[in-house]
Amino acid sequence: MGEHHMPTGLAKGTRTGPGSGPSNPGKRRLGVMGGTFDPIHHGHLVAASEVAAQFHLDGVVFVPTGQPWQKTDRKVSAAEDRYLMTVIATAENPQFSVSRIDIDRGGPTYTTDTLRDLKALNPDTDLFFITGADALGQILTWRYTDELFSLAHFIGVTRPGHTLADPGLPEGGVSLVEVPALAISSTDCRARVAKGDPVWYLVPDGVVRYIDKRQLYRGE
Ligand SMILES: Nc1ncnc2c1ncn2[C@@H]1O[C@H](COP(=O)(O)OP(=O)(O)OP(=O)(O)O)[C@@H](O)[C@H]1O
Ligand SMILES: O=C(O)c1ccc[n+]([C@@H]2O[C@H](COP(=O)([O-])O)[C@@H](O)[C@H]2O)c1
């Protein structure tokens, strides 16, 4: 049988791996996974778990957006529902936690604010912001990028259907990492629920039950 190569979504010639990023002995290493999580799915969870392992992180904090200002063209579920689904999905993993900072700050969510607030709450900690290939490709359209890249090391992860490449961050500011490919998106999960199709095994079981209990995404 011939060898089968899966497409990785990495731009040609891209080097990957945890070799880069800050390595400051004695400092805590905290991953930050920001997202709208409407709903959270296994693509998010695998990305966070894989980066935590490859970068020897002490933990990963999931930060649901308050108002995702680049998603105003669509209906976004209530922040409390997105927050609770994120808590349900991460509760069993002692390395994972969830922060309300973006929800409680109010107003549009800017990652510069997220990272500044997390830095204040976590002194002596290096932050590693985890982002999928699609979001990384948009990062230069985010607000306050002058400060953004000094607050954390950025880790772009592969995502099926998207090419992972450095969009031009400051030298040494980003690492590109291959993670197990899960072709899952929140958009698809919402569409499946709206059609009455199952989302079992795309999202954690507790999230399936929460979506059902709160009747989310019906008739969308
Ligand atoms: N399947 C996946 N594999 C790798 N990264 C992912 C995957 N799904 C989402 N991400 C990343 O997780 C972060 C949060 O994503 P988000 O909550 O917007 O989910 P989404 O599935 O992209 O949602 P939507 O379809 O509603 O736009 C982003 O950085 C995104 O690139
Ligand atoms: O800082 C910004 O201006 C900005 C603009 C768009 C997205 N983000 C962040 O990118 C992460 C993924 O966002 P989203 O909208 O794809 O769920 C999340 O942490 C957002 O706060 C940040």
Residue partners of 203: CB distance under 8 A and separation at least 6: 39, 40, 41, 42, 85, 89, 189, 211
Which of ligand 2's atoms lies nearest the C-alpha of 65? 21
Q: Is the pLDDT of residue 157 over 50?
A: yes
C-alpha to C-alpha distance for 39 and 82, rounded to whole angstroms = 6
| For residues 78-96, average pLDDT | 98
C-alpha to C-alpha distance for 191 and 178, rounded to whole angstroms = 27
Taking residue 91's Cβ as centre, other Cβ atoms within 10 Å add up to 13
| For residues 34-45, average pLDDT | 98
Q: Is the pLDDT of residue 92 over 90?
A: yes
86 lines ligand 2 (CB under 6 A): no
187 lines ligand 1 (CB under 6 A): yes
| For residues 117-127, average pLDDT | 97
Q: Is the pLDDT of residue 19 over 80?
A: no
Q: Is the pLDDT of residue 1 over 50?
A: no
36 lines ligand 1 (CB under 6 A): yes
Which of ligand 2's atoms lies nearest the C-alpha of 36? 17
Q: What's the mean per-residue pLDDT of the chain? A: 93
Which of ligand 2's atoms lies nearest the C-alpha of 111? 1
Q: What does the pLDDT look like over 96-116, one tens digit per residue?
A: 999 999 999 999 999 999 999
Q: How far is the CA of 220 from the centre of ligand 2 (A)?
A: 23
Q: What does the pLDDT look like over 161-185, one tens digit per residue?
A: 999 999 999 999 999 999 999 999 9
CB 127 within 8 A of CB 30: yes
| For residues 52-64, average pLDDT | 98
Which of ligand 1's atoms lies nearest the C-alpha of 158? 4
Q: Is the pLDDT of residue 2 over 50?
A: no
90 lines ligand 2 (CB under 6 A): no
C-alpha to C-alpha distance for 40 and 171, rounded to whole angstroms = 32
Ligand 1 pocket test, candidate residues 111, 134, 174, most atoms within 8 A of CB: 134
More confident: 10 or 168: 168
Q: Residue 10's pLDDT band (boundaries 50, 70, 90)?
A: low
From atom 2 of ligand 1, which residue's Cα is the shortest distance away? 43
Q: Residue 23's pLDDT band (boundaries 50, 70, 90)?
A: confident
C-alpha to C-alpha distance for 139 and 111, rounded to whole angstroms = 10
| For residues 73-84, average pLDDT | 96
